[in-house]
Amino acid sequence: MPKISFFRHALLFGIGSSAAMIVNELYKLKESKEDNENTIEPENLKLKLVQVVFRHGARTPLSSPDYLPHVHYDEKLLKHASHTFVPYKIIGLQGDPVDIANDSRAASSTFPHGQLTALGAEQMFRLGTSLRKRYIATLKFLPEDFSNEVFVRSTRVRRAVESARCTLAGLYPDEEIAIPIHLSAFENEVLYPNFLKCKYLKSLTRWSWIVPDLIEGMKNKREEIQVALGIPPETNVHIVTLRDCLCSHKFHGVLPAHLNLPEVLEQAEEAAKHVMDHVFAGYEVTREMALKLGIGPLLGLFLKSMESSIEDTSAVKLCMYSGHDTTLMPLLHALGIDNSAWVPFGANITLELYESAMENSAKDHYVRVLYEHQGTVIPGCSGEFCPLNEFRDVVSQYLITEQEFDTQCNVKMDTLLESVPKVAEIHGQHS
């Protein structure tokens, strides 16, 4: 739901609501939107390629700060339903075998941090069924069974891999052959801003993650939220971590009653979203460079796939990319789509490439962008079906070649870096 914040949506459900009830209500709303979409190809246009990038489904919190009460997630909340499974195998981008068994980046704990829950698995399964309904049942664009016309890529994070699996289970529920899910090494990932590979980007934006209070007005907002939640003011609270715990607990119906304060939850989400924008999309003076280095490589990948489809050098008709809120947040900024609300669990952006179908005419191409199944007119485009040259112009300011990327990421200091707090200094002051 593009214009409804997570908490406004979650507050529809009281504490103790079952996961099944929440899923049914969530998707009653989503399916009604999808049913209203024009699922018929426009006259004289033929669908050539679909690229879907999505955030993983609902998960447990990424950490358990001491200032919040312990919350238990029982097996009913964690165990994925059998219908969300499909045979799959994990391979590298070049087809090499990959083992992610030791790739977990969560802190050692008995609590299952960052784990895709039963509700999250069901969300992604429903996304797969909606893709099947549109591209297989209605448009007859994809074959009934999995083939090399479908390409699946995920980040190397387990909840993203599992979300890809669940989506595939909805798209191809009867598949018996293992479907490949492609992964990149962490240092080469393009499905989110890569601070590991680009030191310049890290210096440009990570200060706002290390000390969010340096963002104008953030310290007062955080302190007000802490007081309202009964957290001692001297407690070291990271507003994004706080919001993450409240969000996950609320979504799964296990948020303690004394923390279930609607106005405060909204304030926490707004403040945390402001921090995330700074970290993953920059702010006024740094935004263009932050998006160019952070999401430019992914935009380039989208365009490269479109070119391959146009030139008929690739058999792929559907590309699926399983990522994170940190994938969609900067992408929404770059595309000029409303991003005032936090990207919900399971949210997706779809890029459809169309080709003129009139005989004996030039093959013009158009890009249609949908966010959460809703078609949108991208600023700079003349319509919802945006001529490809217009779409290229819209994203051109963020496109970057590999050589340009490597060169910029190795810059040690320039006027832009001089304008932001220094990571090394912040580490020293707040260690």
CA distance linking residue 99 with residue 92, whole number of Å: 10
Q: Are strands 365-371 and 385-387 parallel, antiparallel or unpaired?
A: antiparallel
pLDDT surpassing 80 at residue 426: no
- Is residue 18 predicted with pLDDT exceeding 90? no
Burial code (b: 16+ CB inside 10 Å, e: under 16) for 179-204 equals bbbbbbeeeebbbbbbbebbebbbbb
Category of 16 on φ-ψ map: left (φ > 0), alpha (ψ -120 to 50) or beta: left
Residue 246 has pLDDT above 60, yes or no: yes
Q: 197-206, pLDDT tens digit by residue?
A: 999 999 999 9
Query: Which H, E and C letters describe 235-298, residue by residue?
Result: CCCCHHHHHHHHHHHHHCCCCCHHHCCHHHHHHHHHHHHHHHHHHHHCCCCCHHHHHHHHCHHH
CA angle 88, 26, 298 (to 5 degrees): 50
How far is 313 from 311, CA to CA, in rounded Å? 5
Q: What pTM was computed for the model?
A: 0.91
pLDDT band at 358 (very low <50, low <70, confident <90, very high): confident
pLDDT digits (tens, 9 = 90+) for 298-314: 999 999 999 999 999 99
pLDDT digits (tens, 9 = 90+) for 54-79: 999 999 999 999 999 999 999 999 99
Say yes or no to pLDDT of 345 above 50. yes
- Percent over 70 (pLDDT), the chain: 86
pLDDT for res 428: 46
Rg (CA), the chain: 22
The one-letter code for the residue type at 248 is S
Tell me which of 34-38, 109-113, 235-239, 254-258 is least confident. Answer: 34-38
- Per-residue pLDDT of 5-14, as tens digits, reads 555 555 444 4
Q: Is the pLDDT of residue 32 over 50?
A: no
Q: Please tell me the predicted confidence (pLDDT) of residue 26.
A: 54
pLDDT at 430 over 80: no
pLDDT at 99: 84
How far is the C-alpha of 281 from the C-alpha of 335, rounded, in Å? 12
Residue pLDDT, tens place only, 83-135:
999 999 999 999 988 888 766 554 445 689 999 999 999 999 999 999 999 99
* Mean pLDDT (the chain, rounded): 90
pLDDT at 29: 45
pLDDT of residue 102: 65
Domains of the chain: 6-62+85-105+120-192+307-396 (3.40.50.1240)
Residue 362 has a pLDDT of 74
| Band (253; pLDDT cuts 50, 70, 90) | very high
422 pLDDT band, cuts 50/70/90, is confident
The helix (H) or strand (E) run that includes residue 374 is: strand 374-376
Better pLDDT: 178 or 431 = 178
